[in-house]
Structure 1
Amino acid sequence: MSKKDDPRDIDEDAILKGLSPEELDQLEEELQELDPENDILPAGFRQRDQTRKSPTGPFDREALMKHLRKQALEYEDRNDLVPFINEKKGKAFIPKPGSGHIPMDEQITLEPELEEALKNATDAEMCDIAAILGMYTLMSNKQYYDALGCHGIIANTEGINSVVKPDQYKIYPDDPPNPTNVEETLQKIQTNDSSLTQINLNNIKDLPIPTLKEIFQAMKTNSNVRTLSIAATHSSDPVAFAAAEMLQANKSLQSLNIESNFITGVGMKAIIKALAVNTTLTEIKIDNQRQQLGDSVEMEIAKMLEKNPTIVRIGYHFTQQGPRTRAAMAITRNTDILRQQRVR
C-alpha cells in the first residue's frame, strides 16, 4: 500500500462537508449504536428510527377514533379453548356434628393413667395444662401468664372458652389541669417576691403569647426564681426570642424547660446564642419541638456547650453522631468542673 493510500491521511472534515443532508442522515443512522437485547432501554435506543416517513394525508383525529371504534366492534371475541363449567370435583369431607372424628394420622395414643387424668380434667385444668405446654394461642395473655406463675394451684377459673373475652385493663384518669394562677405568678415575678422560686406553667394550652413574653420580660430583673418551665404551652419563636433576651440579663435562673413547643430552628438559635454569655444556667431542656431543629442547630448546640462551662444537664436528643459526641464530651467536662468546685 502506497503512502498516498494511508487511511490516517484522509481528511474526514472535507469529506463530511461534501455530503448532502440526506447522506448525513444516512451516515448518522449507520453509526448509531443500538442494543436490541436490553429491555431496560427505551425503544429509541434499541431499534432504528422508523418514524421518518412522508405523511399519507392530513391528520384527522375524529376519523381515526371512528375507525378504531368500528374496528373494535367488528372484531370477533376469541372463544376459550376450554369453556368454563361451574363444577366441583371430588367429595368434600364434612364431619358429623358431635361425632368427634379425628383422622387416623392425627390420633395420639397416651398412657392409660394420663388418658384417664385428661378425661376427668375440668376446663380450667385443661387451660392450665395448655399454658404449661406452651399453647398460648388457646387463651388470653392474662390466663397464660397466670398459669405459668402459679405452682400447685389452678390459676384459671374461667377455662379456655374465655379466650373470646378481652382482658380488663385499668383506666387511669387524666392528669389534673395545672393549678398555677398565671396572673398572680406574673405579679410575683414583677415584684421580685422571695417566696417564688419555682414556676411551673406546663400544659396550660390557652396561655397567651403576650403573657409569656411579659413573664420573660419580668424575669430579666428577678433574682429569686431558680426554675422556670413552660413545656407544652404552644410557645413559638416570639417566646423564644423573649427567653433569649431574658437569659442575657438574668443572673439567678438555674433551670429552663421549653420542651414540647412550636419553636423552630431560628428561635432556638437565638436561645443558644444567649446561653453563650449566660453563666448561671445549669440545666436546659429543649427537646420535642413541632419540627426538627436541623443539623446546623445541633452543631450550634454542641459549640455552645463547649464554650459554656456551667451547663451540666441538657434535655435534647441529637440526631447526628458528630454533635452528639461533642455535646457528651462537653457535659462530662462541665460536670467534672462542678465536682472540683464542690471539693474545694
Structure 2
Amino acid sequence: MADDGEEFEFEYTKVTKTTRTINQRRLSQRQESEDKAPEPKFRTLYGRDPKEFENVDVEKLLGQLTADELAQLSEEVDPDDNLLPPSQRCKDQTSKSATGPLNRKQLLTFLTKFAQEQEDWPELKPFQSGVKRGKIFEPKEQETTNSSDEKIILDLDDGTEEALDDASEADLVDLAGILGLHSMLNQDQFHNSILNKGQRLGTDKFESIVKAPVPRKLPFEPDNITDPEATAKQVIANDPNLTELNWNNIKFVPRETFKKMFAGLKQNTHLKTLHLSNTGLTDGPAEVLVEALKENTTLRTISLESNYLSGPMLRTLIQALLVQQRVLEFRACNQRPIVMGNRIEMEIAKAVEQNKTLLRLGLCFDVPCARQKVTDHIQNNNDNIRLKRIGSYEG
C-alpha cells in the first residue's frame, strides 16, 4: 500500500494450499537492481513477454469471463489495496442463509462444544509421566572462599599496632563508630561512639542486636478552655489586654459568634494574633472576615488551618490583605477541598506578588509555577527586611 503515490509491484509465490507469500517491491528499486543485475534466464509470464500485457484492454477481458470465473477472480483481490471499496476488500464468503439474529450464548456453547470435539495435534513424542524432556538446567559451580582465611594487611606504626592489640572490644566498637564503619555497628553503638557516651553493658560487641527503644507516653494536651462568647465580646469592646486570640480545636463554634467576632475586628486596634485552626470555619462567616481584613490595621498573624474554606474564599482572603498590607503571616493549609485548581492558584500567586509585607504563607500549591512565584516573592520580602536592618545598623 502506497501513500506517496509511487507504484508498487506484487509478486505472488504459492507456498501451500492455504498460504501465500506477498513480496512487495518498488518499481524504481526493481529497475535499478535490474540495471545492475545480470539478465535473468527466464523473463516470461505464461510463456509471453510481460510488455505484451501493458496495452491489453482489461474491460474486454473481464467481459469474456463467466460468473464463476469472476467470482474466483474476486477472491484473489488483495485486501490491503485501499483503492478498492470495502465491499470488495471484505467480501462476505458465507454461502449459508441466516438462521436468525445473533445469539451470543448459543454461539459460545457451539464454539466450546466444537473445540472439545476437535482432536489434539499429534505430538512427535507422547507425554510420559515423570519423564523430563530437554536439557536440565545445572547452575554453574561458584568458587567458595572462606573469608576467615583471608588476611588483611595494614601498614600501621608500632605504637598503633600495640594499642590495638591491648584494646578491648568496647574500645574497638568506639573506634569503628568514629571511623564511620556503619555496616559493623548497630544504631545505638554508632550514636554512643559519636556522642562519647560510652558503650552500654551488653552492646559493646559487634554481633549485638538492635532493639527498638520504648516510646515515651506523653499526656494528652488539655482541651482549649477559651470561651468564644466572652472573647468575642472582648474583641468587640476593643479590650487592650487581648492581643492574642486562640480558638484552636474548639468544636461547634456558632456561626453567629464567628460573625460577631469578625465584625468587631473592623474597629479593633489591639489584637495582633488570631488563631482559628480546626474550628469548623466555613465560607459564610469568612465573608465577614474578608471585610474586616480590609479595615483592620493591627493584625500580624492569621491562622485558619484545618477548616472548610473553599479555594475561591482563600483567594478572596489573600486579596483582602492587599488593602492594608499589614499581615506578616497567613496560614490556611489542610482545608476540606484539597485541590484548589490551576486558575485559583495562579490568582493567589498574583495577589501574593502584589503584597510587599507578607513574610510567611501556609498554603499547599499543586501548580509548580504558582508555587515558584510565591516562594520567590516571599524570599524577596524577607531579603528587603534584612537589607533595611543591615542599613539601619550601618547608619
What band does the TM-score fall into relative to the shorter chain?
0.5 to 0.7
Q: Which one of the candidate residues 113, 125, 131 is aligned to 1:70?
A: 113
Assess if the C-alpha contact under 8 Å between 2:245 and 2:275 holds in 1: yes
Q: Does the C-alpha gap of structure 1 residues 210 and 75 become closer, same or farther in structure 2, counting only changes over 3 Å? A: farther
Query: What amino acid is aligned across from residue 346 of structure 2 in structure 1?
Result: M
2:346 aligns with 299
By how many angstroms is 1:61 displaced? 4.5
Shift in alpha-carbon separation, 1:181–1:148, aligned structure 2, 3 A: same
Cα 1:182/1:341, change in 2 over 3 Å: farther
CA separation in 2, counterparts of 1:68 and 1:282? 76
Distance (Å, rounded) in 1 between the aligned partners of 2:91 and 2:201: 80
Structure 1 residues 49 and 161, CA, compared in 2 at 3 Å: closer, same or farther?
A: farther
Deviation sequence 1:141-162 (CA, Å, 0-9, x none):
22343355559x6545245665
Counterparts of 1:330 and 1:132, CA distance in 2: 42
- For 1:329 and 1:104, how far apart are their aligned partners in 2? 59
Pairs within 5 Å for 1:257-296 = 257-290=303-336, 291-296=338-343
Q: CA deviation at 1:267?
A: 0.5
CA distance in 1, matches of 2:172, 2:318: 65
Distance 2:174 2:259 in 1: 63
Q: Cα–Cα, structure 1 residues 169 and 136, in superposed 2: closer, same or farther, change >3 Å?
A: farther
Q: What residue is the counterpart of 1:313 in the other structure?
A: 359
TM-score (norm 2): 0.55
Q: 1:169 corresponds to which residue?
A: 215
Q: Secondary structure at the match of 1:328?
A: helix
Amino acid of the structure 2 residue aligned with 1:65: L
**Alignment partner of 2:149 out of 108, 123, 132:** 108
**The one of 206, 226, 238 aligned to 1:192:** 238
CA contact 1:186–1:215 (8 Å) conserved in 2: yes
Say whether the 8 Å CA contact 1:139–1:160 is kept in structure 2. yes
Please say if 1:227 is aligned against 2:273. yes
Aligned partners of 1:221 and 1:250 also within 8 Å? yes
Task: Please state whether the residue corresponding to 2:346 is helix, strand or coil.
Answer: helix
Which stretch of structure 1 is more off in the superposition, 197-206 or 207-216?
A: 207-216
Alignment of 1:18-37 (within 5 A): 31-32=81-82
**Secondary structure at 2:294's aligned position in 1?**
helix
Aligned counterpart in structure 2 of residue 56 of structure 1, from 88, 96, 101? 96
Partner SS state of residue 360, structure 2: strand
Q: Distance in 2 between matches of 1:69 and 1:75?
A: 10
For structure 2, the 5+ residue unaligned runs are 1-70, 139-143, 153-160
* C-alpha separation in 1, matches of 2:107 and 2:339: 56
8 Å CA contact retained: 1:140, 1:167:
no
2:283, 2:310 within 8 Å by CA — same for their partners in 1?
yes
After superposition, the CA RMSD in angstroms is 4.8
- Structure 2: distance between partners of 1:207 and 1:265: 22
Task: Report deviation, 1:83.
Answer: 3.5
1:180-259 aligned at under 5 Å gives the runs 180-259=226-305
What CA deviation, in whole Å up to 9, does each residue of 1:44-71 have, x standing for no partner? xxxx954633462325555533433333
Q: Percent sequence identity over matched residues? A: 26
> Relative to 1, partners in 2 of residues 1:143 and 1:168: Cα closer, same or farther, differing over 3 Å?
farther
The answer on whether the counterparts of 2:271 and 2:299 sit within 8 Å (CA) in structure 1 is yes
Distance across 2 between alignment mates of 1:216 and 1:287: 20
Could you tell which deviates more after superposition, 295-304 or 246-255?
295-304
Larger radius of gyration: 2
Q: Which residue of 2 aligns with 1:328?
A: 378
Deviates more, 1:208-217 or 1:185-194: 208-217
Q: Does the Cα contact within 8 Å between 1:295 and 1:320 map onto a contact in 2? A: no
Distance in 2 of aligned mates of 1:189 and 1:175:
26
CA contact (8 A) 1:188 1:196 kept: yes
Q: Show structure 1 runs of 5+ residues with no match.
A: 1-21, 34-47, 91-102
Does the 8 Å contact 1:234/1:261 carry over to 2? yes
Instruction: From the superposition, tell whether residues 295 and 31 of structure 1 become closer, same or farther in structure 2 (CA, over 3 Å).
Output: same
Matched positions, count: 286
Alignment map for 1:39-50 (pairs within 5 Å): 50=90
What TM-score do you get using the length of structure 1 for normalisation? 0.62
Aligned equivalents of 1:307, 1:136: Cα separation in 2:
51
User: CA separation of 1:249/1:169 partners in 2, compared to 1, >3 Å: closer, same or farther?
Assistant: same
The answer to whether the 8 Å contact 1:228/1:256 transfers is: yes
Give 3-state SS (helix, strand or coil) of 2:113's partner: helix
Q: Write the distance in 2 (CA, Å) between the matches of 1:314 and 1:134.
A: 39
